[in-house]
Amino acid sequence: MKRTSLAGAACPVARALDVIGDWWSLLIVRDAFDGIRRFSAFQENLGIARGMLSTRLRALVDAGILGHAPASDGSAYREYVLTPQGRALFPVIVALRQWGEDHLYAPGEPCSALVDTQTGAPVARLDVRARDGRRLDWTDTAVRGA
């Protein structure tokens, strides 16, 4: 099936999904936040085929989510690093994690935890807030035209 581009869509969600909407891309970004930087490490951690990984990494670089950097160990390798645009996806990854914790695990079923490195405490729940600080639910918002 041929993929339809959403790059020209009027909806920001559609445009974002055009760039990071497949699970491999989001898992690559997740792994980059976890400190993975090398092709072989992404491949080993994800169990993804080399060709698929190469395609996804190239697309993330082309989209400005990842960039290349000299290897941190001084070797001739190049590593993948999150750009500022890529680092801005952190709340998206946290929101997906928290949704998964809430809806995809049985009570008491263990899962990994995202913790504050200074305190070791679990990260606070994300929520959507109005400019004045009020917590907003989906019923408190509306989409306005472009």
What does the buried/exposed string (b/e) look like for 110-142 if buried means 16 or more CB atoms within 10 Å of the residue's CB?
eeeeeeeeeeeeeeeeeeeeeeeeeeeeeeeee
Q: What CATH class is the domain 12-140?
A: mainly alpha
How far is the C-alpha of 115 from the C-alpha of 120, rounded, in Å?
A: 5
Tokens encoding 28: 């690559």
Segments making up each domain of the chain, as ranges: 12-140
**pLDDT of amino acid 7:** 84
Q: Which of 85, 80, 83, 90 is nearest to 56 (CA)?
A: 80
Q: pLDDT digit string (tens) for 87-128?
A: 999 999 999 999 999 999 999 999 999 999 999 999 999 999
